Structure 1
């Protein structure tokens, strides 16, 4: 494993990848800890901020270029921003179940599933993990 391919990537890709990795690790911690505590709320706010950076930074990444410089990942970024907004709205209204659903959907969809695609051959994270 070598971070050299990531460190050589353009700044938007580096910002996107580092914040995604931080959000993944923090998200695991949030999921493992008791819910509703002051720590949970503080960690959740930081996680939402990281996820917004991940989603917004994707709009400056055009490597896949499937349609006029954009790709399916840009749609995922829009969905991520929406689900984060809905999660915050739901918890402020006291709907814990809907909040939990939106947060889990964001974690699984935007970090786990989308993250797995970054390890496909030809992608930067594939080179980070497996060389080449």
Structure 2
């Protein structure tokens, strides 16, 4: 769990930064690669974390794991889109990734029964 937090927390800030700065610069490309690698790593880590809230599939996976699937689909397709010069598709996918896998999934981590809820709300 801590490995997941250590890899996803930088993505919160890197992703937000990338969404607001000028696109296509060397800095954007470098941070984008770092962001993508961290997101793929953190999505992989989540597959080993059992769902703590709600129903489970195979006594392990929950609805929250769909965000991992989103990440595994979005990163390669966004990368391929930008390599092909399809800036609009790349932009849509990266916005979807940030708001889906960072903002929405992150909000779920504060629900009762989850670790971060107990840390912040006792």
Q: TM-score, normalised by structure 1?
A: 0.85
Structure-2 separation of matches of 1:42 and 1:27: 12
Cα distance in structure 2, aligned partners of 1:125 and 1:19 = 15
Q: Which of 25, 30, 44 is the matching residue for 2:32?
A: 44
Per-residue deviation, 1:19: 1.2
Q: Distance in 2 between matches of 1:126 and 1:43?
A: 30
Structure 1 residue 35 corresponds to structure 2 residue 23 = yes
Matched, 1:113 2:104: yes
Would the aligned equivalents of 2:47 and 2:65 in 1 still touch at CA under 8 Å?
yes
Could you tell which deviates more after superposition, 75-84 or 48-57?
Answer: 75-84
TM-score of the superposition, structure 2-length normalised?
0.92
**Residues 58 and 73 in structure 1, CA contact (< 8 A), matched pair in contact too:** no
Per the TM alignment, residue 20 of structure 1 is displaced from its structure 2 partner at its CA by 1.3
Q: Distance in 2 between matches of 1:119 and 1:27?
A: 20
Which segments of 5 or more consecutive residues in structure 1 lack a partner in the other structure? Answer: 1-12
Backbone CA RMSD of aligned residues: 1.2
Q: Look up the SS of the partner of 2:47 in the other structure.
A: helix
Gaps of 5+ in 2: none
Shift of 1:121: 1.4
Cα distance in 2, alignment partners of residues 39 and 46 from structure 1: 11
Residue 60 of structure 1 aligns to a residue whose secondary structure is coil
Encode CA deviations 1:30-70: one digit per residue, 9 max, x unaligned: 11211110000000000001100111101110043611111
Q: Which range is displaced more, 92-101 or 29-38?
A: 29-38
Structure 1: which 4+ aligned runs deviate by more than 6 Å?
none
